Every structure is written in structure tokens, then in C-alpha cells.
Structure 1
Amino acid sequence: MAQPELNNEGTSRVEVALLSVIFITAGILNFGLLLVLWRRRKQLSRMHVFVFHLSVADLVVVFFQVCPQLMWHITDRFVGPDALCRAVKYLQVVGMFASTYMIVAMTVDRYQAICHPMVTFQRHRARWNVAVCAAWCVSFLGAIPQVFIFSRVEVSPGVYDCWARFISPWGSKAYVTWTTLVIYVLPVLCVIVCQVRICHAVYSSNFHFKSQQQVGKDEASRRGGSTRSCSGGWVSKARAKTVTMTVVVVLTYIICWTPFFTVQLWSVWDREAPTENATFIILMLLASLNSCANPCIYLMFSVPFPRRLVGMLCRRQYHRRESMQEEASTVSSLFINLKNLSDAKHFPASVTFLATEHGTTYYCNKV
């Protein structure tokens, strides 16, 4: 991907500030989400597995796209050897591929769960998630051209930078158009088709279920008896919730990445494109906001996440409070047993029992 040079100092400061905020926010949110999901890795559902790998992909974007871009604008030139230049450019596109195709895999999985539930139910639990592995394989393979296109070149006498070398005059147009198709256009078309079919299936199943339920009620009222209904056609609330979350993730991806790919295509197909315009540059940076939005979407649809994160970060105090409650429960049980023995007159009259239960002190005197 081409990188426009900035001559406006004010625009450069805005860009550095925006990249810094995105880097810190996305890093904290995705790292916190990974910690919570990793601690519950033995209990993760299929949807949580996709969220986990999507968070990993977002961290790749944060550390290998946002961070190098930030350092690039601070130093004005790429600082590092040729191998580092090629590695950074390769991992930048790996993150873009992974973020996109993890969303595709998530959407296809929801499509199978809603539109073909029996096939999903009969499928044995595999050790590896095939859709996740396929998404990562596509990401690592699709980014290979970056290694051969970008290198450390001398842009002026004694000045080196990490730049791309394309075959003139069609090389850059072909490459940017190809990446736009495989990273943005085709995946977006795929998820839109899946989401339309999912929404149609949800609406049809719920409408059919309500119709059957109403027919059953009418028939029962005519017979004067009770009605029974089967909920096999009804889409559960939990499954509908994951579908809604997937829709929000897809819409957020489209909103964040559409300006980026539009600007990229414009810059290579139009020689008079305002590549150094402030608006032009800021629109290219907004794509990184997707890495901040994904964990926020999961947070919005998962109520226990904040409590788990806070409890994990403060686990020492949590375990201490838990041990105190366990100790109080033990003392409470001892108090109850001793009180029962006292009522059974197994102890002399002079015995006094004292126990503490949930902060309250109890005295039991044998009369």
C-alpha cells in the first residue's frame, strides 16, 4: 500500500495524535479481551473462539500496522534494515487479511448454525477449528507479495526508506486493485449474502413458529383443552444475539474500511488525486479504528466481560475476599453444629458458644 508524504506540520501532528490514541486504546482493549478469553479457554463456545482469533488479528494490526505507521511519522523515515522493512510490510497485510477473513469465517459459521442447524449439530467437535485455520492460512499466503514488492531503497543521496517497486505504469494499479478485491470487495459480498440469508431464515422460522402456535391455541380453545407447542422452529435468544453481534461487526468493518480502500484506489487510478490533502490522509487512518471497535462490540453484547476483566486484574483481592467468605462459611457451619449440640444438652450449662457469620457475632448460652 502506498504511503503519502506529509508536508503540513499541523496535519502531521493530528495524524500522530490520532495514531497514538488508536494504538493505546486498541492495544488495551484487545489485550484485556484476550486475557479474559484465554483464562476461559476450556469453556469457550464456537463464537468465542472466533472472537478470540479476531482479537489476535486486531493486535497484529495494532502492533504491525498502527505502531510502525506512528513511528514512521515521528522519524519521517523508516529506520531499520531491509529484512525489517519487508517483515513489517508483510505483517501489515497479514493483519488486514486476518481481520477480514475472520469476520467471513464468523459469518459463515453463523449461517450454518441458523440455516443448517442439523448439519452443525451432527458435526463432531474437532480439535482444530477449520474455518479459523483457513482464515489464517489465507492471510499468511495472501500477504506474500508484500515481501517482494517492498524493500529498503535509496530515495535520495544517503537517505533510505521502505518503499514499493512496481512495474510502470500499470504495476501499482494492478496490485492495489487486486488487494482491494481479495481483502475488501469479495469478503464483503460474501458476508452480505450470508447475512441476508440468515435474516431471512430467522424471520421465516419465527413467523412459522408463531403461526403454528396460534393455530394450536385456536384448536385448543375449540376443544376446550390446553395447547402444546414445539419450539423446534424457533431461533433461540442466545443464537439470535450472536447473529446480531455478527451483523454489527460486519457493518463496523464496512464503515471503517470503505474510506481506506476508496482512497487507495483513487490514489493509483487518478494521477491528480489530492494524496497530500488532510482529509485524504485522515480517511486512510480511520481503518485502524476497526481494531478499537471490535472489542467494544463484544463488550456491548457480553455483560459479564467487565466483571471478569476487573476480577482478573484484581485477582489477589478477589481471592482474598473469597477465602474470607469461605472461612466465614466454615465458622458458620461450626456455629450451627455447636448450637445443635447445645440444644441437645450435650454440654454443661456454663458453656458459651461464639461464632461469626457474615460480619455478625452470635452468642449461644446454655441455660
Structure 2
Amino acid sequence: MTETQNGAELCFPQLFNTSCRKLTPPWFEVMLIHILLYSISLLTVALNLLVIISVSHFRQLHTPTNILLLSLAVSDFLVGLLLMPGEILRKTSCWFLGDIVCTLYKYVTAIILASSIGDIVLISVDRYVAICDPLHYTTRITVNRVKFCVCLCWLCSLSYSFLYLKDDLTQTGRYNSCYGECVFVIEYFIGVMDLVLCFIVPVILIVALYLRIFAVAVSQAHAMRSHITAVTLQHSVTPKAKKSELKAARTLGVLVVVFLMCFCPYYSVSLAGDNLVNASAAFYVLFLFYSNSCLNPVIYAFFYPWFRKSVKLIVTLQILQPGSSETNML
């Protein structure tokens, strides 16, 4: 690296030999990128905050499925609040926050991504039981059990991320080649383990569950169209209830498909490595993955009338009225 005049292109001009270079693209391009990316980040925070307030405030929405959506919304909220701004800073300018904050940022990133994957798996399991074993759904999938599973999911994410980044936590900044950068370097064995636990196993499980859900849903839809009374009596579920569960499965199926569409390119780039994928492409693929956190509330708005109603009540501040938590949302 050659020295620049007066250190004008260095992150830390006083450290000529160890400072990273500043990125110096045209100012208009920098401004446009920052406005676009920070707008997505702000929108992600706002939309997921609406989901969090909706499910938390209205008592009628305290269902097992919605508790899982609440956990996913918390993950998505943190993506917009912490991960997106951190990634913008890390990729488009110098890292001025130091090695300790860099390491904590990596740790928080791993926790949030692992919990998001866990939530999607739990949502798939919830729909599997609702569609494939409706007779025992209310006894097997209770609010308390779902809350326990959500807490366990976050606890496992905390533990897994600690094991995943324990060397970084004890030796902060060991992979940084100069002052002013925050790099993610994963050792081969840990990378393989992460690939299996956070990509291959969850994807296989999610796809298998939804293939089974699809098969049973088609069978149930055929039964309803044919007015088979025996099937209805056997499962003790009315056609209306079945239709409601099928609609919920379809909605959450869209959620899972969108997640996989954003999730798979991220791990594909990770598998390809730096030699096959340039830094710009890797950054935009990562931001595509993060943008999934913004898309989830949009999916709720399209498919869930209760979400549209709750947003209206929140925006008009009607939730501040006494007894608003008992509002009929369904």
C-alpha cells in the first residue's frame, strides 16, 4: 500500500502504516446508496415495531402462531435497528467503533440470524401440527409451550453464537489487517458446522414439513369440496375451521418461501467464497437477506386482516384508550 498525500485517503491519518484506506466513490453515489439503504433500515424498524405492538397489546392476538410471529418480528426489528446500519457502516466507510464493538456486532449478528432461522422452523412445525394433526393441535401447541420454545430458541442462539465466535470474543480484532475495518473470518471447521446446522438441516426440515402440509392440505380441500361428512366427523373439525387453518398455512407458506428465497443466495455466496464472488455482489446478497426482515410485515399486511386493523388502531392512537387491549381483532 502506497502512502497517500497528507494521509487524505486514510481512515486514521495519524497511523500512516497501519490505517486502512477510505473508500472514495463519487459523493452522489455515496449519498444515493446511503439514502436507499438507511430508508430500508428505517422501514424495517417501523413495520416490525407495528407487528410487535399489535401482538403484544391486543389480547385476542395472543395465539401460539402469533407468538412465533412476534419472536420473528423481534429478530427482524433488530436486523433493521442494528444489523443493517452496522453493515452499511462496515461496507461503505471506515469502521470507527473499535475492535470490541466490531466483535460484539459479529456476536449480535450471529444471534439474530440463528434466532430467525429457528423461528421459521418453529412456524413450519406449528403449521404442520395444525394441518396434519388438527384434533390434537390445541392440546399439543399451547401458548405456554410456544413461549417456552421461543425462549429456548433464543437461548440456543446465544449459546451457539458464543461457540461460533468464542475465539473472536477472546481475541478481538485478530483478523483485521489494518485500523478502520471490521472483517468476518470463519475457520473451515466452524464454517462447515454452521453450514450444516444453520442451512442444510433447517432447509431440509422446512421443505419436508411444507411438502407434507401441502399434500394434506390438498387432501383436505378435496374432502371439503366433495362434502365428505365422514372425514369431517372423524377429525372433529368443521369445514370452516379447516378453511381457516388452510388459509393460515398458505399465508405462512408464503412467508417461508420468501425467507428461503432471501436465505439461500446468502449461503450460496458464503459457500462460493471471496475468490468467486466480488465484495459488491456479496454485500448486496447479504442486504437481500436482511431485506427479508422488511418483507415479512408486508406479507402480514397482505394476508392478515387483523394486522391491517391493528395498524389503523396504532396509527390513530386508539390503543391508548382504556380497554383497547380487549378489542375484537378477528
User: Which TM class, normalised by the smaller chain length?
Assistant: 0.7 to 0.9
Partner of 1:127: 144
Q: Name the amino acid aligned to 1:289.
A: S
CA displacement at 1:246 relative to structure 2: 1.3
Which structure would you say has the larger Rg? 1
SS in 1 for 2:144: coil
CA displacement at 1:196 relative to structure 2: 0.7
2:211 aligned with 1:196, yes or no?
A: yes
**How many residues align structurally?**
293
CA displacement at 1:24 relative to structure 2: 0.9
Which of 300, 305, 310 is the equivalent residue of 1:308?
310
Partner of 2:12: none
RMSD: 3.2
How far does the alpha carbon of each residue in 1:217-275 deviate from its partner, in whole angstroms, 9 at most, with x for none? xxxxxxxxxxxx8584646222111101111011101111222111111115xxx3242
2:263 aligned with 1:257, yes or no?
A: yes
- Give the conservation status (yes or no) of the 8 Å contact 2:44–2:293: yes
Percent identical pairs in the alignment equals: 19
Distance 1:241 1:124, change over 3 A: closer
Partner of 1:334: none
CA displacement at 1:188 relative to structure 2: 1.3
* Partner Cα distance (1:285, 1:8) in 2: 21
* Partner Cα distance (1:182, 1:12) in 2: 37
Going by fraction, where is strand more abundant, 1 or 2?
1
Partner of 2:67: 49
- Give the conservation status (yes or no) of the 8 Å contact 1:90–1:143: yes
Q: Name the amino acid aligned to 1:148.
A: D
* Partner Cα distance (2:92, 2:293) in 1: 22
Going by fraction, where is helix more abundant, 1 or 2?
2
Which of 30, 34, 42 is the equivalent residue of 1:16?
34
TM-score, with length taken from structure 2: 0.77
Show the 5 A alignment for 1:130-209: 130-144=148-162, 145-149=164-168, 151-153=172-174, 155=176, 159-164=179-184, 171=187, 173-209=188-224
TM-score, with length taken from structure 1: 0.70
Relative contact order (C-alpha < 8 Å, sep 6+): which is higher?
Answer: 2
CA displacement at 1:298 relative to structure 2: 1.1
* Partner Cα distance (1:299, 1:132) in 2: 23
How far does the alpha carbon of each residue in 1:12-57 deviate from its partner, in whole angstroms, 9 at most, with x for none? 6665344212211101100111112211146411111111111001
Partner of 1:283: 285
Q: Name the amino acid aligned to 2:205.
A: C
Unaligned runs of 5+ in 2: 1-20, 325-330
* Partner Cα distance (1:185, 1:317) in 2: 42
How far does the alpha carbon of each residue in 1:161-220 deviate from its partner, in whole angstroms, 9 at most, with x for none? 434566xxxx2x433333233222211111111011111112223324544649x9xxxx
- Give the conservation status (yes or no) of the 8 Å contact 2:64–2:142: no
How far does the alpha carbon of each residue in 1:55-85 deviate from its partner, in whole angstroms, 9 at most, with x for none? 0011122223112112334542241352x22
- Give the conservation status (yes or no) of the 8 Å contact 2:55–2:66: yes
Q: Name the amino acid aligned to 1:131.
A: C
Unaligned runs of 5+ in 1: 217-228, 323-367
* Partner Cα distance (1:251, 1:21) in 2: 24
Moved over 6 A (4+): none
